[in-house]
Amino acid sequence: MLSRNALALILTLVIALATALATLSPPAAMIQVGGSDKLYHFLAFAALALPVAALIPRRIPVTALMLSAYGWLIEVVQPYFDRSRDIGDQIANMSGILGGSLLGLGLWLLFLRPRHGGDCKDEAGSAPRKGLGQSS
């Protein structure tokens, strides 16, 4: 069985490849669907951020920076693929990263976060210390 790290990496790479194909294909080669181009950018980058946020949320900051750089790279090279460069696309990308990260974090909090029973112990095996004002 795959670890959460491996699963998050595989899902993100597959979605990144699909995103690159969709955003770098010449417009004539694309299937024309209705709707806003910005909405598609938002959804693609939300999908990119979601696996890491849901499976390994401690990696959200690094992942968000890497996905933002990926979005900028796509915008820089798009003119070489008969596409236009648009700052609005990058704003939609970054909004999608935020949305996907928040959704993934919410999923992790609700369903995937490790649960500890009443006798909670840390990784070293010792019980947590009582804070100020807490009784035994």
Q: Which of 37-46, 57-66, 121-130 shows the lowest mean pLDDT across its residues?
A: 121-130
What b/e readout covers 65-89, taking b as 16+ CB neighbours within 10 angstroms? Answer: ebbbebbeebbeebeeeebeeeeeb
Region of residue 112 (left: phi > 0; alpha: psi -120 to 50; beta: else): alpha
131 confidence band (pLDDT: 50, 70, 90): low
| Both structure tokens of 35 | 């709707």
pTM over 0.85: no
Predicted pLDDT of residue 39: 93
Q: How confident is residue 133, by pLDDT bands cut at 50, 70 and 90?
A: low
pLDDT for position 116? 75
Mean pLDDT of the chain: 87
| Nearest one of 54, 36, 16 to 91, comparing CA atoms | 36
pLDDT at 114: 87
Q: What pLDDT shows up at residue 98?
A: 98
Percent of the chain with pLDDT over 90: 67
